[in-house]
Structure 1
Amino acid sequence: METAFLPTTWNIDQVVEDLNEHGFALIDDAYPLSYVHELAQECTSNLNSFRDAAIQNGVVSKIRSDHILWIDEDLKIASQHIELLDQFSKILNQNFYLGIKQVEAHFACYNAGEFYALHRDNPQQKNDRVISAVYYLHEEWQDDWGGQLHLQDKNDLWHIIQPKPNRIAMFRSDLMHEVLAAKHQRLSITAWLRSNADLL
């Protein structure tokens, strides 16, 4: 996949407008299907390395039950997605003066029955996460399989966002949200665009 430029399917103006007006934005058909397939393969081939997800400071909590694998340079396919988010952060900085300096990300796997209860990714501004971005990399999904993102926007309106394959859901990290219980294995990359280059 070409990483020099953002994909043409990313309607930059619309994303910026939606983030400004609602605090969240959706990008559908984000990548070529060939890349989606390669990414799904990279994710599933590493499922044995996933571990129980934790909240701040490595504390495993009952508010979430998913499994994760942090993305580093050895995961070359996923790293391309992170590079594009890093490029996109420069556009966000120009429009919103967010001071984003770094992207951190992990694969996430929600097996049947797994969930993530209501929370904020940046509670009381206690970390440097500014924008959260969830990319759904499973190649098939049905609406009755659960796993939706339940999100409160900046105007206090609630939304149910389906984990549609090849979709990116991007939102302010201080917004309340949860992942509803999945009824089928749900795969994604969760990324945070951070204002501090020193990752926790």
Structure 2
Amino acid sequence: MQYKINREFDPHHWKKEFKNELRCRVTNLLSENSAHLMSSNIQKHAQFKQAHISNNQYSEISNSEFAQLEINERHALIQNVYDLAKNGIGFWYGRQGLNRDSPPQLADIYNWLSSEETLSNVKAITGIHSLAYPSAQITAFAPGDFLTRHKDDISTEKRRVAFVYNLSEDWHPDWGGLLQFYRGDGTPTEAWPPLYNSLCLFHVKHVHSVTCVAPFAPKLRLAISGWFHDE
């Protein structure tokens, strides 16, 4: 497999941290060469569409499709997304599905995610040994993109552990795009900037969001996100 874990990675170190709050951020997960290769393959081969909710339905639209809309149609779409978001519902961000049927350079990433090595490490960190497989997407948050506060706990899908693997080098916290956690009443608690080559793991019961990326952010916030599921 072309993606290699950092030789200094020790899952038992992160197990202690995860146990305290049912979340942790594993730093320097992959070797430097592997992280760069993964980032390069995503930038070369991913074809993003803007994922969003409008008229209370999930949808995706490509940049070319958006450009073909009349000006008033574009404004109406964005306004509809914002009307839902101001009430705490919705998102607007670039998305590329990730699975074994993706283009080969991207399917290799999914194969790494679903490998026995990766699953074993996630099980060791979380203590959840029933994890069987991941579902995943590649995300690209541009200036203005966001993901409102929510939980990932969908029992019918048997999600147990959410993950975000960050691939934006030298990201400044002032650029936004923070993985923000909350108490049940909406009070913000911990916030994690998208540190390059870090794997965020957290139980699906956690309320969280991705804060809006600032208009002056000079590049995309790239990540792979998804869930590890029970059988």
Q: Same fold (TM over 0.5)?
A: yes
Residue 148 of structure 2 is aligned to residue 114 of structure 1: no
For 1:37, the equivalent position in structure 2 comes to 36
In structure 1, C-alpha distance between the alignment counterparts of 2:5 and 2:43, rounded to whole Å: 25
Q: Which has the higher contact order (CA 8 A, sep 6+)?
A: 1
Work out which of the residue numbers 135, 150, 154 in structure 2 matches 1:104. 135
Deviation at 1:59, TM superposition (A): 1.9
The residue type paired with residue 121 of structure 2 is F
Residue 149 of structure 2 is aligned to residue 151 of structure 1: no
Deviation at 1:173, TM superposition (A): 1.2
Residue 41 of structure 2 is aligned to residue 11 of structure 1: no
Identity %: 17
In structure 2, C-alpha distance between the alignment counterparts of 1:128 and 1:29, rounded to whole Å: 28
**What is the RMSD computed on CA atoms of the aligned residues?**
2.7
For 2:211, the equivalent position in structure 1 comes to 180
- In 1, are the aligned partners of 2:181 and 2:189 still within 8 Å (CA)? yes
Q: Which runs of 5+ in 1 are unaligned?
A: none
In structure 1, C-alpha distance between the alignment counterparts of 2:209 and 2:22, rounded to whole Å: 16
Secondary structure of the 2:131 match is coil
Map Cα deviations across residues 35-58 of structure 1 (whole Å, 9 max, x no partner): 1211111111134x2223257xx7
For 1:160, the equivalent position in structure 2 comes to 191
Residue 46 of structure 2 is aligned to residue 51 of structure 1: no
In structure 2, C-alpha distance between the alignment counterparts of 1:81 and 1:139, rounded to whole Å: 21
In structure 2, C-alpha distance between the alignment counterparts of 1:176 and 1:90, rounded to whole Å: 22
Which TM-score applies when normalising by structure 2?
Answer: 0.71
Q: Which runs of 5+ in 2 are unaligned?
A: 60-80, 85-89
My pick for the range that moved more, 58-67 or 185-194, is: 58-67
Number of aligned residue pairs: give it. 188
In structure 2, C-alpha distance between the alignment counterparts of 1:30 and 1:46, rounded to whole Å: 22
For 1:91, the equivalent position in structure 2 comes to 124
- In 2, are the aligned partners of 1:68 and 1:106 still within 8 Å (CA)? yes
Deviation at 1:2, TM superposition (A): 6.0
In structure 1, C-alpha distance between the alignment counterparts of 2:196 and 2:108, rounded to whole Å: 17
Change (3 A) 1:112 1:9: farther
